[in-house]
Structure 1
Amino acid sequence: MIIGNEDQARAWVSAFPGVSRETMTALEALVAYVTEEARHQNLVSAATLGSMWQRHIADSAQLLRFAEPKPGEHWIDLGSGAGFPGLVVALIAPCRVTLVESRGLRIAYLNRAIDLFGLSDRVDVAGMALDKLPAIEADYISARAFAPLPRLLEGAGRFSTEKTRWLLPKGRNARTELESIAPSWQKLFHVEQSLTDADAAILVGTGRVAQPESRKAARRQTRRAYRSK
């Protein structure tokens, strides 16, 4: 089933395990908050403001089909921007969430959202570039429209363990991006269909992304993978 409109998106999210009436109220408030804040900064594409539930809320919540975060577990969301999927995950799941965002206006916006929704006990903003973030072990890593897959894995691999679950929405280019990375990384991932866009997919993986001895070595592996296609 592809979620095709706002009513379907609301219905799908409301039926998702763990989503209570209070959670739906909070998600409605998030939609209103993003819509208002979008008047002052470019948080999301203007073309999606009329389809926030389909394009952003359900699109974020669907990642939880492949994850069951528990209290005490740590979810890192890279390039959080408007808080998708990070804030949606935080409102639905009981885990700790770190929102990684380097842009000043977005950092301030995310901190206000954390206060607004009373999430400060388990959600924080890492207001810095990814390469400045101290190495921390993540149970889950998500990244939506953050970076090309090779660069994303090079930068975020140090946060992964053998048990880390990767959740990476990649649009219609998911398979192409997966084929472009080193074979040792490819075997960790598989492709899942997005429920919000028939042309989009999600890269879902489990495991530690082992870093080659140098970034140059990683790039050489990636180039070899690309040439062998």
Structure 2
Amino acid sequence: MAAEAPTGGGAGPATAPVGVRPPRTAGMRLAWSVVRGQPAARLGIAAVAIGHLVMVAVMAMTPVRLGESHADADVLRLVGIVLSLHIAGMYAFSPVVGWLTDRLGRRAVILGGVGLLLAACAVAGTAGHHTPRLSVGLVLLGLGWSGTMVAGSTLLSESVSAGVRPSVQGFSDLIMGLAGAGAAVLSGFVMQLAGYPVLTLLAAVATVPLVALALRPVPTGAPGEED
């Protein structure tokens, strides 16, 4: 028979009963308090979330844009080609983006990613029904997403202590998911009301807060702000 735990009033630290978990919201509250007090963490989350928002907003409505000018027999093939090129832009050069993040610094790659996102919005938004030009825009969109994602997540991870890193990463994933979901929903309404060029313009404008954060003066000696 297993020995029973003592019930006396010892001086040891209190522990939660076996099988009882702390509230799930506790981790999110902790993550928010850490991120709120750490400028580098805020920039990292902003880079991940805004880069994802711009990418999803433009990418989600690109098949609709292709369907406006191509017959049903052609549009599925074209959507497959264009989105395959876009996904290649997202992931094929990730090792290079990681190397540049270490070589040039996190902020520089974040700003470079924003520049690529803006170029993507400009090229795709002015492509009209020219599919090769639209394809170039979607490749640039994938590359810009890769820059903001890799550099932003790296900056976020190194700007917080190991003890709170899982909670902060979960918080970042939540914000990124909400940003992408919101972009997917709203992009349909914008496409219906104003068209694809206006959608790409609004997506470009959405990068303004990220640029402002990335260009803020770096506090001397702040952790995670060396780059």
> What TM-score bracket applies, with the shorter chain setting the length?
under 0.3
Q: From the two aligned structures, give the one with the greater helix fraction.
A: 2
Bigger Rg over Cα: 2
For normalisation by structure 2, the TM-score amounts to 0.26
Bigger strand share: 1
- Relative to the length of structure 1, the TM-score reads 0.26
Q: Which has the higher contact order (CA 8 A, sep 6+)?
A: 2
